[in-house]
Amino acid sequence: MELICPAGTPASFREAVDAGADVVYCGFRDETNARNFPGLNFTRKELEQSIAYAQSKGTQTYVALNTFMRAGDEIVWYEAVDDAVRLGADAVIVADFGLMAYVAEYHPRQRLHVSVQASASNVDAINFLVDAFGAKRVVLPRILTIPDIARIARQITCEIEVFVFGGLCVMAEGRCSLSSYATGKSPNMNGVCSPASHVRYRQDGNDLVSELGDYTINRFPDGEAAGYPTLCKGRFEVAGQYGYAFEDPVSLDVMDHIDGLREAGVCALKIEGRQRGKAYVAEVVSTLRRTLSADSRSRPALIHRLKLLSEGQQTTSGAYEKRWR
């Protein structure tokens, strides 16, 4: 199975390649990708140089163009596709059906992958995207169990890629409006979830208080591991009790299940984290590379250290082994 690794800067990109990535995915420094954070991402020149570096080491590059086009400004996304193709991207990862149509019409030989943001989570949706736009791979939303994935794999004609490690959304990819509700900006349209411009941290006595826009997201007592300032991981009062109404601050880790994923028909394992630093990329990629070639008994010890890198210093297998249906 391919190991698909994130990069938010050229330095992270080189770390991912050197650490053993089969593929590095990244995006342009604008709103065309869903990790449009300040100071992050690639200029055209940086992408060109990074692709050349990857090719010299036998690594592929996928370019994420996975936000939804803004009506009237489609040209921004069209030009991003044109440039990614011109610079030699091995695949473009797209969420917007209109942009998929553009790729299919103007760059029919370009390999097209369906982004997790497209929320294609059933056989009909995936086969439609394969038939209509020639999609070669789908990145499945993190809402499916491994048996679900196996059932889908048997009925579709494209490859399957899944997230196995890193940040975990509340499983409504491409459709989540929580950030938009609080700040007016969303990963879907602007490439930012909980934009930094709306985030504030302050100390209140010994507590660390995180705020997003006008909302208090969380209050961490001294010594408690902290999480990202997203509404989905916020601690709220519900029916007189404080708790995590949507989800705990926790990251995804399903490396214990890679044999099951392989048997289910998954061909590529994806690491989330383009917004993370190169130290994270180097550590996670090298560890998961070793884990992939290790036997199942050795894997837990290998990946245990990665908990320290995870949100809230906790990990979960999320919906892959859903127990709450």
Partner 1 sequence: MKLPPLLAAPFAVIPLPVINRATRLMLFRVLKQHPGLFDRLGEHLGKRYGFVPTDLPLTFVVEPARPMITVSRKPGTPHADAIVEGPFFLLLALLEGRGDADALFFSRDLAVTGDMESIMSLRNALDDCSVDLPRDLSVAAGPLRPLFKRAAGWIRDRALSGESVWN
Q: Which of 170, 225, 267, 302 binds partner 1 (CB under 8 A)?
A: 225
| 216 is a contact residue toward partner 1 (CB under 8 A) | no
| 184 is a contact residue toward partner 1 (CB under 8 A) | no
Q: Which of 158, 164, 283, 319 binds partner 1 (CB under 8 A)?
A: 283
The minimum distance between CB 166 and partner 1, in angstroms, equals: 11
Angle between helix 10-19 and 44-56 (nearest 10): 10
| 6 is a contact residue toward partner 1 (CB under 8 A) | no
Q: Which residues pair with 242 in a beta bridge?
A: 237
Cα 281 vs. chain centroid, distance in angstroms?
13
Alpha carbon of 91 to those of 107, 168, 318: distances in Å?
11, 24, 28
158 annotated binding-site participant? no
Q: Can you tell me the distance from the alpha carbon of 244 to that of 267, in angstroms, rounded to the nearest whole number? A: 34
| 114 is a contact residue toward partner 1 (CB under 8 A) | no
Choose the stretch contacting partner 1; rule: CB under 8 A; options: 78-86, 148-156, 220-228, 239-247: 220-228
Q: Can you tell me the distance from the alpha carbon of 96 to that of 83, in angstroms, rounded to the nearest whole number? A: 17
Non-local (6+) Cβ contacts of 76 within 8 A are 30, 31, 32, 69, 70
Q: Can you tell me the distance from the alpha carbon of 91 to that of 62, in angstroms, rounded to the nearest whole number? A: 5
**Residues in binding contact with partner 1, number by CB under 8 A:** 40
What is the per-residue binding string for partner 1 in 187-206, x denoting contact by CB under 8 A?
Answer: --------xxx-xxxxx---
| 310 is a contact residue toward partner 1 (CB under 8 A) | yes
Q: Can you tell me the distance from the alpha carbon of 66 to that of 114, in angstroms, rounded to the nearest whole number? A: 9
| 227 is a contact residue toward partner 1 (CB under 8 A) | yes
| 223 is a contact residue toward partner 1 (CB under 8 A) | yes
Q: Tokens 């009062």 sit at which residue?
A: 237
Judge whether 24 and 59 are in contact, CB under 8 Å.
yes
In the range 31-90, which residues lie near partner 1 by CB under 8 A? 37-40
| 301 is a contact residue toward partner 1 (CB under 8 A) | no
The minimum distance between CB 301 and partner 1, in angstroms, equals: 18
> Do the strands 159-167 and 199-204 form a parallel or antiparallel pair, or are they unpaired?
unpaired
| 176 is a contact residue toward partner 1 (CB under 8 A) | no
The minimum distance between CB 195 and partner 1, in angstroms, equals: 8
Closest by CA to 179, choosing from 8, 30, 37, 6, is 37
5 annotated binding-site participant? no
267 annotated binding-site participant? no
Helix (H, G, I), strand (E, B) or coil at 162: strand
Binding site for partner 1 (CB under 8 A): 8-12, 37-40, 195-197, 199-203, 208, 220, 222-227, 249, 275-280, 282-283, 308-313
List residues forming the annotated binding site for [4Fe-4S] cluster: 169, 176, 193, 232
